[in-house]
Amino acid sequence: MWNELAGGALIGLAAAVLWLGIGRIGGISGVVANLFLLRQGHRFWSLYFLIGLLLAYPLYVYLVGTPDMQITNNKVVLVVAGILVGAGTYIGNGCTSGHGVCGNGRLSLRSIVATCTFMAFGMLTVLIMNNLPYSWDV
């Protein structure tokens, strides 16, 4: 419980630093689109944000230890899910960070609706996958 609260506070702090420092919303799907779809004028901060995000991993391993990260090895599930996440966050203009943290923190109606939608569909997807007579290795 404390790890979750402290981790969440760190995520909120990260978004706060970005907003108060350079006036940008800390949305990762935005960062991805800025960098990989080559959006003019947004690449600069997005690149430094991505470098920071990647640096966090070795720093965490050094400070705390190797984190537990269990992921499916079902290649079809990985590819289909990856495409859905990449397309869905582009179409809906945000993900768990941009809508889930920043948008909800701003009390944006769009973000509240988006968050309820992706949470509901995420829960529904897990419910269906876990109850089908097929082992997904997830």
Partner 1 sequence: MYKLNNTVMKMITPLVSGILFGLGLLLSGMANPAKVRAFLDVFGDWQPALIAVMVAAIAVFALAYAFSKKMKQPWFHSIFHKPSLTALDARLIIGAALFGIGWGMVGLCPGPALLSIMTGQEDVLIFILALLLGNRIAHISVGPAK
- 43 binds partner 1 per the rule CB under 8 A: no
Across 34-73, b (16+ Cβ under 10 Å) vs e yields: beeeeeeebeebbeebeeeeeeeeeeeeeeeeeeeeeeee
Number of amino acids touching partner 1 (CB under 8 A) = 106
Q: Of 70, 132, 133, 134, which lies in the binding site for partner 1, with binding defined by CB under 8 A? A: 70
- 40 binds partner 1 per the rule CB under 8 A: no
Q: Output the six-digit token pair for 1.
A: 């419980």
What is the footprint of partner 1 within residues 5-34 (CB under 8 A)?
5-26, 28-29, 31-33
What is the footprint of partner 1 within residues 91-120 (CB under 8 A)?
91-93, 95-97, 99-110, 113-115, 117-120
